[in-house]
Structure 1
Amino acid sequence: MAGTGVGNIFSGVTMDWGFSVSDIWSSSMGIFASLAGFIVLGMVVTFAPRLFGLVRKAVVGGGGRKG
């Protein structure tokens, strides 16, 4: 191997695992979609009390012009 360039180490290797790249891609996107739903739910739970407090202050009259 001395003096030769870097070759493709997978040349001549054939494996039939029963799935393709598109199968892996679609499965990973499915997992991502499931996790994204939980992340958004966590954000809603985190920011909802702040939003409700802001709306409550606006409705009750917590800072408009008086006069």
Structure 2
Amino acid sequence: MSDSIKVVQAPSVPVMHWRLFAELVGVEEGVMRGMCEKGHVPVVQIGKHRFINLAKLHADCMSAPDRDL
């Protein structure tokens, strides 16, 4: 039996619509909306649209201390 692994490469862009980001990371839209509203992921508002600030998210992840989960 062969196990397959799905690998998704996100495009190299500084921002991404929150719905697309939710789909790429495998989180339901309602969960991602809540994460945005609570400030768990960096968000930038462009007009009436909300985007995940991937540049800030990457920088935050790279500077965060390693933690055992």
Q: TM-score range by the shorter chain?
A: under 0.3
Larger RCO of the pair (alpha carbons < 8 Å, separation 6+): 2
Instruction: Please report the TM-score for the alignment, with normalisation by the length of structure 1.
Output: 0.23
More strand by share: 2
Instruction: Please report the TM-score for the alignment, with normalisation by the length of structure 2.
Output: 0.22
More helix by share: 1
Q: Which has the larger radius of gyration?
A: 1
